[in-house]
Each structure stands twice: as structure tokens, then as C-alpha cells.
């Protein structure tokens, strides 16, 4: 009689591999890479089946394809791999007090700052003035600031509206708010490949989603097409927001620090 030698370590091994595959699937789901991921998974399964059936020629061909395919996957999935490593780092170091000293809540936004941001977004929404506002939390955004212009200005409603005024020299790009100050303007953000952004929303929303996928920060956009206000955090989006709802979301995010 044929018996399968199966122990607790085999169970743990299968469970961990299943979790890893599921997380990888979630990461690439909704992007163009999902078809490549499924295709490679099917090739790997066929390789294992042919190897178990001792079909040496097919298993050899697929084995060589798999070995070369690892390098191809690194190239094709470079953005997804980066996001995956960032996700692992965020989960492992979730309790930042153990490893990384969190920034003081005194440096985050107070009620006056939040009112200034919400007031600016409300006015820009009425005039359909496009805007991207990035608010730093625990991650350092210096690399993003370097892509734009350092201005180091006090945070105020008038300043935000002035930067994004359609004829202003700094209106194209994002502003970055750190420690209650506007530190950078005209900053370039990473673009998300997720399909949760509707086609009509454009690059502004993809950029806001992309930066929150990679960094612990908040992003707020105002659409110049329809004036809708959207809020982004942890790679998730809430859109068509009223001013009160936007204020509640920013306030809640400040309590998570």
C-alpha cells in the first residue's frame, strides 16, 4: 500500500507557500502583470506534474524555461517586487516603537492645519482647479521632494490655493506637507498600475495612489475635470468627498501615528 509521508512541517510548508502565493496574487491583481503571473504559475504546475510522471523530455524543457524565467520575472515584475518588499517591511515594522522611532504627533497636523487644507480643497473643487497634496506621516519623503522645488512655506489655505492656481509656475505636480509646513512643490510621484483608478480620472489620481502604495503618507487630489475631491491612504482611494468627510479622514489618519 502507498503511504504519503506527511508531517507537521509539511503542513507548515504548504500553508506558508499558500499565503505567499495569495499575497503575490493580491499584489498583481488588477494590473497587466496578472496574466503573466497566472501563466508562469500554470507552467510551474505542469513542470511538477510532468516531473512526477517521469516525462523527462517535457519536464526538462519546462525546467529550463522555469530557471531562465526567474530572471525574466525579476525584470517584468520589478515594480510589483518593490511593492511586495515595501509591504513586507510595513507589516514587520508595524509596531514602529520597537524598531523605528515614530515622528512626534506634535509635528503632525492640528485642527487649524486641517481646516486650511479642507478649505483650499473646497475652493479648488468649486473652480475645478487640479491639485495633489501629499502629507507625510512616518515615512521619509525626501526623495520625492528632490524631484520638485523646495519652498519651505508655512501651511495655509491661501498658500495652497496660490501654488495650484492655474497660471502659477508651481501648479503642475504635487505639494508635500511635513511638520505643518509646505516643504516641496511641483513634485513628481510614482504612478500606480492598479485598475481601481477609472480611466477618466487620469494621471493625477494614479500618482496619488502610487505614492500611498509605496509610502506611509496621505494623498489628496482635486480633479480639474469635475472638481471631485479624493483621499488616498495605504493604496486605497475614497472619492467624491464632501469637506466634512475629508476633514474626518485626515483627522483619523493623524490619530494613527
Q: Is residue 2 part of a domain?
A: no
| Cα 223 from Cα 238, distance rounded (Å) | 13
Asked whether residue 3 is domain-assigned, the answer is: no
Asked, for residue 100, whether it belongs to a domain, the answer is no
Q: What's the rounded mean pLDDT across residues 115-133?
A: 95
**pLDDT(192) > 90:** no
For residues 215 and 136, state if they share a domain: yes
The predicted model gives 151-167 an average pLDDT of 92
- Looking at residue 97, its pLDDT comes to 46
What CATH code is carried by the domain that includes residue 114?
Answer: 3.40.1700.10
CB-based contacts of 24: which residues, under 8 Å, 6+ apart? 37, 80, 84
Work out the percent of the chain whose per-residue pLDDT is above 70.
75
How many domains does one find in the chain?
Answer: 2
Q: For residue 256, what are the CA distances in angstroms to 102, 137, 248? A: 11, 9, 13
- Same-domain status, 86 and 112: no
Domain-ending residue, one of 34, 58, 92: 92
Q: Between the ranges 113-117, 138-142, 169-173, where is the mean pLDDT highest?
A: 113-117
Looking at per-residue pLDDT, the higher value among 195 and 166 belongs to 166
Asked if residue 236 and residue 163 are part of one domain, the reply reads yes
Same domain? For 72 and 182 the reply is: no
In tens, the pLDDT along 206-224 reads 999 999 988 889 999 999 9
Domain interval for residue 143: 105-255
pLDDT at 98: 42
The pLDDT assigned to 193 comes to: 76
Average pLDDT over residues 228-256: 90
111 and 191 fall within a common domain: yes
- 167 in a structural domain: yes
Q: Which pLDDT does position 62 carry in this prediction?
A: 78
Is 121 among the domain residues? yes
Report which of 178, 171, 174, 175 is spatially closest to residue 191, judged by C-alpha positions.
Answer: 174
Q: Are 83 and 203 in the same domain?
A: no
In a domain, 97, yes or no: no
106 pLDDT band, cuts 50/70/90, is low
**One domain for residues 83 and 185:** no
Arithmetic mean of pLDDT over the chain: 81
Rounded distance, CA 206 to CA 232, Å? 10
In the sheet with 149-154, reading across from the earlier edge strand, the strands are 149-154, 181-187, 174-178, 131-136, 217-222, 229-233, 236-238
Domain annotation covers residue 1 = no
pLDDT-derived band at 92 (thresholds 50, 70, 90) equals low
Taking residue 26's Cβ as centre, other Cβ atoms within 10 Å add up to 11
Q: Is the pTM of this model over 0.75?
A: no
Q: Are 131 and 182 in contact (CB under 8 A)?
A: no
d(CA 178, CA 181): 5
User: Do 233 and 189 fall into the same domain?
Assistant: yes
**143: in domain:** yes
Q: pLDDT by residue (tens digit) across 20-75?
A: 777 777 666 655 566 666 777 788 888 888 888 878 887 788 777 777 766 766 66
**2 confidence band (pLDDT: 50, 70, 90):** very low
Q: How much is the pLDDT for 76?
A: 63
Instruction: Indicate if the alpha-carbon torsion angle 246, 178, 78, 202 is positive or negative.
Output: positive
Are residue 148 and residue 76 in the same domain, yes or no? no
Which pLDDT score, from 0 to 100, does residue 108 have? 74
Question: Do 122 and 184 lie in a common domain?
Answer: yes
Domain check: are 81 and 110 in the same one?
Answer: no
- Say if residue 174 is in the same domain as residue 251: yes
φ, ψ for residue 59, nearest 5 deg: -65, -35
Task: Report the pLDDT value the prediction gives residue 103, as an integer from 0 to 100.
Answer: 54
Q: What is the grid cell recorded at 207?
A: 500618482
- Which of the two residues, 7 and 125, has the higher pLDDT score? 125
What pLDDT score was predicted for residue 159? 95
Q: How far, in Å, are 103, 138, 139, 140, 179 from residue 100 at the CA level?
A: 9, 9, 10, 12, 18
CA distance 240 to 129: 15
The angle at the Cα of 13, spanning 10 to 16, to the nearest 5 degrees, equals 150
Amino acid at each position: 500500500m502507498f503511504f504519503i509521508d506527511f508531517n507537521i512541517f509539511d503542513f507548515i510548508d504548504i500553508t506558508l507557500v499558500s499565503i505567499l502565493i495569495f499575497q503575490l496574487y493580491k499584489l498583481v491583481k488588477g494590473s497587466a502583470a496578472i496574466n503573466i503571473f497566472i501563466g508562469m504559475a500554470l507552467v510551474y504546475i505542469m513542470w511538477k506534474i510532468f516531473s512526477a510522471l517521469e516525462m523527462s523530455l517535457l519536464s526538462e524543457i519546462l525546467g529550463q524555461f522555469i530557471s531562465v524565467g526567474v530572471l525574466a520575472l525579476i525584470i517584468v515584475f520589478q515594480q510589483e517586487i518593490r511593492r511586495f518588499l515595501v509591504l513586507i517591511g510595513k507589516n514587520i515594522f508595524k509596531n514602529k516603537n520597537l524598531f523605528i522611532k515614530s515622528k512626534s504627533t506634535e509635528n503632525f497636523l492640528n485642527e487649524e492645519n486641517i481646516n486650511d487644507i479642507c478649505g483650499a480643497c473646497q475652493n479648488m473643487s468649486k473652480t475645478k482647479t487640479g491639485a495633489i497634496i501629499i502629507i507625510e506621516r512616518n515615512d521619509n519623503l525626501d526623495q520625492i521632494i528632490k524631484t520638485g522645488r523646495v519652498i519651505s512655506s508655512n501651511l495655509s489655505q491661501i498658500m495652497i490655493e496660490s501654488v495650484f492656481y492655474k497660471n502659477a509656475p508651481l501648479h503642475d505636480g504635487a505639494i508635500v506637507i511635513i511638520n505643518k509646513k509646505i516643504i516641496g512643490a511641483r513634485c513628481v510621484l510614482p504612478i500606480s498600475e492598479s485598475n481601481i483608478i477609472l480611466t477618466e480620472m487620469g494621471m493625477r489620481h494614479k500618482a496619488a495612489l502610487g505614492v500611498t502604495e509605496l509610502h506611509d503618507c496621505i494623498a489628496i487630489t482635486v480633479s480639474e475635470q469635475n472638481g471631485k475631491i479624493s483621499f488616498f491612504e495605504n493604496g486605497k482611494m475614497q472619492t467624491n468627498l464632501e469637506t466634512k468627510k475629508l476633514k474626518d479622514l485626515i483627522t483619523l489618519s493623524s490619530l494613527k501615528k
